[in-house]
Structure 1
Amino acid sequence: MTDQIAGHRIVGRDLVPADDLLMISEVLPRETESVPVARRLVRDALLRWQLPGLVEAAELVISEMAANTVNHARADCMRVTVYRVGDDRVRVAVIDRSCAMPVLADAGDDTEHGRGLALVDAVSQQWGYDPFRWGKRVWADLVADGEDSPEGHVPMYNTPCGRPLTSR
């Protein structure tokens, strides 16, 4: 069954934008209990899209991004999204209402916190953020089998203010 929503098609639980990229999105309460829910959402999407090799890294990345939102954002909710942006590439993202932008910190050996974005940086091909007037979207690209995209082709959100932070 296929329904229509403002430039998108709904196919089962998948929201398919007009450009045919698959996307799954869910609004979750901004609370600690939502972090494992975000992991399950990502895992289920990747298994449905037959990308089991990305599950472990994607679960780690979304856990860190969701935990950052729980700890640092305002508002009562966050949106978790998973985009399939290619045959072997996904982009996971968390959208929140905090205007504080993410900072890749150099956590000391004795520090208990501050390593989340370093983990995201270590396992993703690229990560960044898109600032909005009312908050931000923090995203990370993951590629199956550690393959890089073709030279010069890095899919980006179609926004003039996207901020890629790393690229390998």
Structure 2
Amino acid sequence: MSGHADPGYYKVLVRLPHDADGYPTSSVEGLWAQFLDGVYRIDSLPFHAYDIAPGDWVSVRREGQVLWVDEVLHALGGSMLRVRIKAGEELDEIQAALQAFACPCELERSTRLLAIHVPAQVNIDPLLYFLWVQREAGVLDFEEGVLRHALPDGLLPG
């Protein structure tokens, strides 16, 4: 069941909803989770799953040899953002700029998608401002996978 180098880690699966365009192309995302005290702690950056972030404690249900995430039992408070870098833009340069915000991120080169975890103790405002400026410049687009940070009134456009 485990393929992670460390014992006690298991792949847990999350079902993915599709948008009107059929995105994402997969219907399932696998995340690494550590089994501790009868529950699983997410230890991966979700690229497509909503409402889940690293550090969250989840319950799972077993279907044969497969572990499906059932529900988030305790959210650690971090947010997840997904950034799609437009064609022609330099992936490594944008990833380096995003890492300056002290947020773990992972790049999926084939889809030009960055998954960014904003830990609860990190101020999300400068990162969101940077992303909005880059979106207005046509460099990237982004969405929230889960937004748990408190935002000041008027920070979100529209």
Between Structure 1 and Structure 2, the one with more strand by share is 2
Q: Which has the higher helix share?
A: 1
| Short-chain TM bin | under 0.3
TM, length-normalised to structure 2:
0.28
